[in-house]
Structure 1
Amino acid sequence: MRKLIYTLLFSFLLSGIYAQDTPKMYYTDTSSAGIMIAKDPVVVRFRGKYLMYYSKQMFQNNNDGMLGWNIGIAQSKDLYHWSKIGEIKPHASYEQRGLCAPGAIVKEGKVHLFYQTYGNGPKDALCHAWSADGVNFTRDTTNPIFSPNGNWTNGRAIDAEVYFYRRRYFLYFATRDKAGEIQKQGVATASANTDFKRSDWKQASDESILSPALDWEGRCIEGASIIKRNNKLYMFYAGSYNNMPQQIGVAESDDGIHWRRLSDKPFLRNGLPGTWNSSESGHPGIFEDENGETYLFYQGNNDKGKTWFLSNVKIGWNKEGPYLISEP
């Protein structure tokens, strides 16, 4: 009996230590009519703190109808506890129906934000803005800076991700087929000395670089997020439309244009019934800290999209690619 008590006590203490060593992040934004909405996370380290940009919906005060999308800004000291510090609202004429799905990089002491317009169907396009403080942004005068062309696309561009690799900037985006039914990935490039204006971006492929092909990917691949490891690029991507469920997969590339999947199964699945992310684990944002540690940020919910939360998991690496260190 005494041995059993000691065993149970040790297990309890060990579980407490484990919980302290593996904190959990759950963040949402309630600033619009008290509704919990935060999606599409991207994180950068800037001036000694972490900044997270994300999509947030705008509702009428009486919660009678959604008005559009803005971009929220939160900060953190530890990647787990976040507080909202700002919001980017429609300003230019091309943003009047909304702006969302941010991508972000830090270059020469400024945060560069890449985002999409909202509510224009096939005419939604990618835009660029920059900030010296990470909160107040100046729009690029050439906005929108990119939309794709060719028989493989309907001209739409969303979910921007910019990554520097082999002396070029790669701009990854999601688009749709001519019928507007299949969502898939494309890419454009610009030279190392670009200031990201419209004329600098050249479409790098006249076809999709990654289209849905697996059962769990449904009719959608979107939300590409890129990191370099093992002298190659890895793309974390969202497969299937929201709440179908959307889950996260991984592909790799030697040149940034031609991609191959690491597995025919999701890297990060949606949660089991009753868990906070049972409806989906989607829209990845891979973040590499200054010490080389990496965290996969993503969105989830358990009510088919009535609310949305953001979380992260710590990622490890070996010669085969990424693996989960912490549990969702």
Structure 2
Amino acid sequence: MGRGIAESKDLLHWVKVGELPLTQAVEKNGIAAPGARVIGGVVHLFYQTYGQGAKDSICHATSVDGVHFVKDAANPVYHPTKMPWSVGRAIDAEVTVMPDRIMMYFATRDPQMHKQIIGAASAPRHAKLTRGDWTDVSVDAPTLTPELPWEHICTEAPSVVEHDGFYYMFYAGGWNNEPQQIGVARSRDGIHFTRLSDEPLLANGAKGSWNSSESGHPGVLQVGNRTFLFFQGNDDGGKTYHLSKVEIGWRQGRPYVLPDSSAATASPSLK
């Protein structure tokens, strides 16, 4: 498994422009789940090792153009070490820049490798974001753990944005094609999150629709004052995956899917 890079001028039509090659020993089984953030004019890419079970961890690379990346020689740069509720695994990383620090949200497993849960780490605001810069934050308890029926035993793929003084975590609930669906939780401090609903914000599609098997693995992008929620979906139980997006509106501190960009009508943008 590897990572591709696509480019778009309208967030709808995408053209592949590159790949992140597998060059380091830690990547021998592949890499997955990239999350990019521009910090100080540099693109910081965080991605996970693949197929190593409890030993999967987070790697780091940087780029000045978003296409050509220099990998961190210290890879992997992070996995949790001080969280007794975690087996020590880290996948699905995404970084959010806050006024006083940089937060990394990631998915991990409980010590029995049974439940998929979400944790958090932090680094100083001007750190290089390499190994040794990250400190476990959610030490006493997970940032988010599966509790609702539709989440089954899996919460993963956190994607966090700030809006009007709150941090909103869009996350996937349920394993891939269980179906996986997308929920949202809110936090004032970026550490303690509370769900905004017992139901998914973005559910899988109805039978016969392109995303009937799932609407999963969210990625939120802010463009000016607009918010877009990217996600993966398919209709064949995971044999073929597609990427699409919906636009998010905000009402009284709560995100909602704008009616004219519902998942049912938002056909795949990338196949």
Same fold (TM over 0.5): yes
Aligned partner of residue 120 in structure 2, secondary structure:
strand
* CA offset digits 1:172-199 (Å, max 9, x no partner): 0000011111000000001111110111
RMSD: 0.8
| Residue in structure 1 matched with residue 267 of structure 2 by the alignment | none
Larger proportion of helix = 1
Q: Partner letter of residue 96 of structure 1? A: K
State the percentage of identical aligned residues.
52
**Aligned residues between the structures:** 259
CA distance in 2, matches of 1:160, 1:244: 22
| Alignment map for 1:86-101 (pairs within 5 Å) | 86-101=18-33
CA distance in 2, matches of 1:292, 1:85: 27
**Alignment-derived partner of residue 34 in structure 2:** 102
Q: Identify the match of residue 201 of structure 1 among 128, 134, 154.
A: 134
Partner of 2:76: 144
What whole-Å deviation, never above 9, does each CA across 1:212-252 have from its counterpart, x for those lacking one? 00000001000000110120100000000000000000000
Post-superposition shift, 1:133? 1.6
CA gap 1:79/1:179 in 2 versus in 1, 3 angstroms: same
Give secondary structure in 1 for the equivalent of 2:103: strand
CA distance in 1, matches of 2:172, 2:138: 21
1:294 and 1:209 mapped to 2: Cα distance?
23
Aligned-residue offset at 1:266:
0.3
Query: For 1:258, what is the secondary structure of its paired residue?
Result: coil
1:183 and 1:93 map into 2 onto residues whose CA distance is 26
Asked if 1 retains the 8 angstrom alpha-carbon contact of 2:146 and 2:173, the reply is yes
Higher Rg:
1
Alignment of 1:1-328 (within 5 A): 69-149=1-81, 150-206=83-139, 207-289=141-223, 291-325=224-258, 326-328=261-263
* Structure 2 unaligned regions, length at least 5: 264-271
Give the deviation of 1:109 after TM superposition. Answer: 2.2
- Work out the CA distance in 1 between the residues paired with 2:99 and 2:41: 21
Q: CA deviation at 1:166?
A: 2.9
Cα distance in 1, alignment partners of residues 131 and 252 from structure 2: 37
Partner secondary structure for residue 210 of structure 2: coil
Contact 2:99/2:125 (8 A) holds in 1: no
Pairwise CA distance, 1:134 = 1.1
Contact 1:89 1:99 in 2 (8 A): no
- Quick check: 292-301 or 143-152, which moved more? 143-152
SS of 1:198's equivalent in the other structure is: coil
Structure 1-normalised TM-score? 0.78
Which aligned runs of 4 or more in structure 1 are off by greater than 6 angstroms? none
Letter in 2 for 1:151: P
Between the aligned partners of 1:108 and 1:210, the Cα distance in structure 2 is 29
2:54 counterpart SS class: helix
| Aligned 8 A contact 1:300 1:308 in 2 | yes
